[in-house]
Amino acid sequence: MKRFFYSLIIVLILWWTYPLWEEPIREVLPVRLNNLIDSISEHTGELLEKNDYLKKLRGHLSSPELLAPHANDRSEQETDEKIELFAPKRQTFSIGNVELGDTYEEVAKIYGDPVRESMNEYGLAWFTYHENYQNFIMIAFDDEEIVRGLYTNQDLISSTLGIKLGDSKTTVNNILGEPEELIHYRQFIYQVDSDNEYDIYQIDGSYLTIFYDTQADDQVTAIQLIDQKLELTKEALYPAHNEALREGFEYQLFDLTNASRVKQGLPVLEWEEAVRKTARKHSTDMAENEFFNHTNLQNETFSDRLINDGIRFTVAGENLAYGQFSSIFAHQGLMNSPGHRENILYNDFTKLGIGVDFNESNQPFYTEKFYAD
């Protein structure tokens, strides 16, 4: 019985990997053996389709854990799986069943290892978790591996007040009241000027930022939770920049863009290192020469700059942002601008390079370059 089972496993593996070895082996086999292969493939396929147990076994053998070379190469069925959300245990809001104050170990039990770690404006790292940008969540841990920051722009919001993704700004304001107008830091006061794109509330010892989609009837499109003590450690509105923060903003904006595309049923964009260099040069140019425009001081357009750097493309687009505290705020602002939103959600783009730089006041300049070759 064991010998039969092992033989069956071998047959299943050979049949399931058939597309990989069919053409190479046919080139060296005589016609009779090629006909035999066709016959075996046909009858094996019929057997599998008629037997529910064998179909399940085939699915197990072809699962991503056994065959995929990368953790993110998940099947469409797997990545579309929705996380079951539970009510927060200690606080008013949780994201993906994670709350401020949870531990790294508790998060790992839910999500495993992060896909990316990148520096944020608080001097901590955003740990990014997702499955090919489905169930996208960003989590910041302090030095003691305690959750101090949370963000998502997908349907992972749970609240004891019933607030959820897609609710209107009016609903949020009716439940939470008037948002904050001033935030008092140690050395300065920040006046919130969101242009109705987001509201900030103090709740459960944290700052809750609720972002709205102004292009979709001011619906809740994302939320961020930052521990109040962490927020108030800022000594300036814009922290001193360094290379780690620069790279962090670039990768975060890339991930946020893909998370928004997947949310709309669009394919994921590939990171393009060569185009990051082109984008960085434009951000540096704007920061150093104090201008903000798609056309630089040499009258070169965004497409001119791609061509000058030897980037071949059939279609391209560029998004610019300036002065936002982080890539999260920059991305939400771009999504609320019709032209920039169109680039982010354009189906025919396949690649993206992002470059960030800072002026003397530590204000970031963001350049996104989309294209297809």
CATH code of the domain in which 186 resides: 3.40.33.10
Are both 102 and 211 inside the same structural domain? yes
In this structure, the answer to whether residues 312 and 180 fall within a common structural domain is no
> Are residues 279 and 368 in contact, defined by beta-carbon separation less than 8 angstroms?
yes
Do 171 and 296 belong together in one domain?
A: no
Same domain flag for 263 and 353: yes
User: What is the rounded distance in angstroms from the CA atom of residue 353 to the CA atom of residue 238?
Assistant: 24
Same domain, 265 and 220: no
Look at residue 36 and tell me if it is in a domain.
no
Residues 169 and 217 in one domain: yes
Domain end marker among 180, 203, 237: 237
Give the pTM: 0.79
Q: Are residues 192 and 296 in the same domain?
A: no
Could you tell me if residue 82 is inside a domain?
A: no
| In a domain? residue 201 | yes
Question: Which contacts of 10-19 are long-range, i.e. CB under 8 A and separated by 24 or more positions?
Answer: 11/44, 12/48, 12/54, 12/57, 12/58, 12/61, 13/61, 15/40, 15/41, 15/44, 15/45, 15/48, 16/58, 16/61, 16/62
**Residue 224 and residue 115 in one domain:** yes
Of 333, 331, 324, 318, nearest in space to 368 by CA: 318
Distance CA 194, CA 156 (A): 24
**Structural domain count of the chain:** 2
338 and 264 in a single domain? The answer is yes
Q: Are 183 and 298 in a shared domain?
A: no
Where does a domain end: 174, 204, 237?
237
Full pLDDT tens readout for the chain, 373 residues: 444 444 444 444 444 444 444 444 333 333 333 333 343 333 333 333 334 333 333 333 333 222 223 333 333 334 467 889 999 999 999 999 999 999 999 999 999 999 999 999 999 999 999 999 999 999 999 999 999 999 999 999 999 999 999 999 999 999 999 999 999 998 899 999 899 999 999 999 999 999 999 999 999 999 999 999 999 999 999 999 999 999 999 999 999 999 999 999 999 999 999 999 999 999 999 999 999 999 999 999 999 999 999 999 999 999 999 999 999 999 999 999 999 999 999 999 999 999 999 999 999 999 999 999 9
How far, in Å, CA of 334 to CA of 181, rounded?
A: 23
Containing domain of residue 283, as a range?
Answer: 259-372
Instruction: Let me know whether 233 and 347 are in one domain.
Output: no
